[in-house]
Every structure is written in C-alpha cells, then in structure tokens.
C-alpha cells in the first residue's frame, strides 16, 4: 500500500518539479519569482487544446505548437514587459508578473469560458501497467517519464552547452557576464522562454489528470512554489528533490491523516521552512565578498 501511495506522490511530484524548475530558472536569472508561470502554462495548454479540438491537428503537432507558443510567450513577457520597467526593483517586478497572471487568467476566461474541457492525449488514463508489484496508469507513467526526460534535458543544457554556461554565468553575476561579452539581456529573455516551455509541459501533463479550465494551474503553481521554497530556490537539483518530497508527503498525509486537508501540507511546509531554514533544504546562500 505504502508503495502505491509513494507512486502517487511521485506522479504529483513530477508536475510540481516541472513548475518549481521553471520558477527557479527565472528566479535565478532575474531575482523575480514569476507568478505568471502557472497562467502562462495554462494558456499554452489551451493553445494545444485549440489546435487539437478546433483545427483537428495531430497530437504531436499540437504539442510542438504549444511549446513554441510557450517559448514566445516567455520571450514576450521578458522583452515587452519586464525589461521595459523603469528603475525596476524586485517588488515592482513581482507585481508586474502578478499583473500578467491576472491578465492571462482574464483573457483565457473571456476567450474559452470557465467550463471544463477535455484535452485528448494519446495515452490512456484507465489502462494500467504493472511494474514491480505496483499498478500505475499509462498516463501517470507517461507523466513521470516526460518530467524526468525534461529534467535531464535541462541538466544537459546547463551542464554541457555554451548557452547553458552563459545562462549560469548571467545568473551568478550579470555585470561580470556582460564584460565577458555575454549578451545578458538576450540570455535572460531566452531563460524566460525555456521556463515557459517547461511550465507548458507541466500544463499539458496536468490537464488530463484534472480538467482544462482557467483555474487549472493555480494549485500546481502554489505547490511548485512551495516545493521550490522547500528545496532552496537557487538550487535546481534542490527544487526537484523538494518537489518529490512534497508530492510524497502530501500523498501519505492524504491517506493516513486527512484527504480534505491534503492541500495545506504545501503551505505548512512553506511556513516551517521559512521559519527554520529560509535558504531551503539544499539551497546555499553565497554572500558576495568585497
């Protein structure tokens, strides 16, 4: 039984991990937690839905189109909105992302209404796979696999490519990156794009589990945020671990203690972590030496 519960936790954790990863990437680049991340993912998921349902395109085309849209949306957020801010400080930028969130939320509600829709995907939710004595639906298995694949891609990007090096350099010290000829503004914009793509994947994986409506990403966003806080916002490996821990704890809490109060676990975790270890479980805090 406990194995099955942990499996459920891992499925939820993979979604949280993607959201947390996306938030952490942009946070490290711009020192802003992008609260529009969830709605950007929701909106991108709707784009996939429109391509599938209205234009009858094959799933993979819709999937790719949605990710492309997400990338452009991320670029747009940075180039057209965040960068235009005059004398920006962290609080201003945070409020800008909240504003963008409300904008997208309203736009989606106006365009597609608040009714719940079904995103058709090529894996089944009812057929199951048996794996080491555990039963898991095809959809959940796909969720875990896609999430892990994406995390590995992000790892490879950051660890082995020139773009990744430029992203890390910009995140750590923007002035120093600039004087080494790294076009930091372009790099930050690309980071926003990548984050948005990761969020969109989370949205598309999330939609069949719950339903597709404008509210779908609000809870996963908060959970992903909690996971990022738990793991330590500035450590990518940390936020992924935090997400899986959160997913598993939540699942166990729901079964053994109370299903209704399952959602408070995440917020309890935020409070406890900020109280005892503000840098998170795996976060490090570098103070700059003068």
Partner 1 sequence: MKQPMLNIKNIETYYDRILALKGISLSIENGSVTAVLGNNGAGKTTILQTVIGLLDDQPEKGSIFFQGRDITGKETVDIVKMGIGYVPEGREVFQELSVLENLMAGGYMHNSASAKETIEKVYRYFPVLKERQKQMAGTLSGGEQQMLAISRALMNRPQLLFLDEPSLGLSPLLVDQLFDIIHQIAKDGLTVLLVEQNANKALAIADYGYILENGRFVASGTVEQLKRDEDVQEFYLGIKAEESVRATQRYKRKRRWN
Contact call for residue 178 and partner 1 (CB under 8 A)? yes
86 makes contact with partner 1 (CB under 8 A):
no
Interaction of residue 89 with partner 1, rule CB under 8 A: no
> Between residues 45 and 234, which has the closer beta carbon with respect to partner 1?
234
The answer to whether residue 176 forms part of the interface with partner 1 (CB under 8 A) is yes
Q: State the residue for tokens 């809490």.
A: 253
Q: Which stretch binds partner 1 (CB under 8 A): 70-78, 137-145, 159-167, 268-276?
A: 159-167
Among 114, 124, 125, 180, binds partner 1 (CB under 8 A): 180
Q: Cβ(49)–Cβ(119) under 8 Å? A: yes
219: which 2 tokens? 């809870």
Query: 137 near 209, Cβ under 8 Å?
Result: no
Residue 170 CB, nearest approach to partner 1 (Å):
9
Please, which residue, 203 or 283, has the CB nearer to partner 1?
283
Residue 188, both tokens: 């930050």
| HSE-up (13 A, CA, CB side) for residue 234 | 14
Cα 46 to Cα 66: distance, rounded to the nearest angstrom? 8
Per CB under 8 A, the list member of 181, 259, 260, 285 interacting with partner 1 is 181
177 binds partner 1 (CB under 8 A): yes
Least distance CB 272 / partner 1 (angstroms) = 27
Query: Least distance from C-beta 180 to partner 1, angstroms?
Result: 5
Q: CA dihedral in degrees (242, 205, 148, 166; nearest 10)?
A: -80
183 makes contact with partner 1 (CB under 8 A): yes
Asked if residue 258 binds partner 1 (CB under 8 A), the reply is no
Specify whether the backbone of 215 is left (phi greater than 0), alpha (psi in -120 to 50) or beta: alpha
Phi-psi region of 31 (alpha: psi -120 to 50; beta: other; left: phi over 0): left
Least distance to partner 1 from the beta carbon of 276, Å? 24
Q: How far is CA 260 from CA 13, 243, 263, in A?
A: 19, 20, 7
166 part of the interface to partner 1, by CB under 8 A = yes
Secondary structure element (H or E) that encloses residue 134, with its range: strand 134-137
CB of 62 to partner 1, least distance (A): 36
Q: Given the rule CB under 8 A, which of 74-82, 176-184, 220-228, 239-247 is the region that contacts partner 1?
A: 176-184
Of residues 6 and 79, the one with the C-beta less far from partner 1: 79
Distance CA 106, CA 192 (A): 22
Q: With residue 128 as reference, give the H or E element that holds it.
A: strand 128-131
Q: Which residues bind partner 1 (CB under 8 A)?
A: 162, 165-166, 168-169, 172-173, 175-184, 286, 289-290
């Amino acid at each position: 039984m406990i194995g099955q519960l942990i499996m459920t936790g891992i499925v939820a954790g993979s979604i949280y991990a993607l959201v947390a990863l996306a938030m952490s990437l942009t946070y490290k680049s711009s020192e802003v937690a992008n609260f529009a991340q969830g709605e950007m993912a929701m909106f991108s998921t709707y784009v996939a839905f429109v391509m599938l349902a209205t234009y009858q395109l094959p799933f993979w085309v819709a999937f790719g189109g949605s990710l492309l849209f997400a990338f452009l949306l991320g670029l747009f957020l940075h180039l057209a909105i965040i960068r235009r801010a005059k004398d920006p400080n962290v609080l201003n930028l945070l409020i800008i992302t909240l504003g963008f969130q409300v904008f997208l939320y309203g736009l989606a509600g106006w365009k597609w209404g608040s009714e719940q829709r079904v995103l058709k995907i090529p894996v089944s939710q009812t057929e199951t796979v048996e794996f080491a004595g555990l039963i898991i639906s095809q959809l959940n298995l796909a969720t875990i696999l896609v999430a892990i694949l994406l995390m590995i891609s992000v790892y490879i990007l950051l660890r082995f490519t020139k773009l990744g090096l430029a992203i890390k350099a910009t995140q750590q010290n923007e002035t120093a990156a600039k004087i080494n000829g790294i076009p930091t503004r372009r790099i930050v914009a690309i980071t926003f794009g990548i984050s948005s793509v990761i969020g969109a994947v989370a949205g598309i994986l999330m939609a069949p589990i719950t339903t597709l409506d404008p509210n779908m990403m609000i809870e996963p966003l908060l959970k992903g945020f909690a996971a990022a806080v738990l793991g330590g916002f500035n450590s990518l490996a940390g936020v992924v671990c935090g997400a899986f821990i959160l997913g598993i704890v939540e699942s166990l809490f729901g079964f053994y203690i109370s299903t209704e109060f399952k959602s408070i676990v995440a917020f309890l975790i935020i409070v406890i972590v900020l109280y005892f270890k503000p840098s998170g479980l795996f976060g490090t805090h570098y103070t700059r030496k003068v």
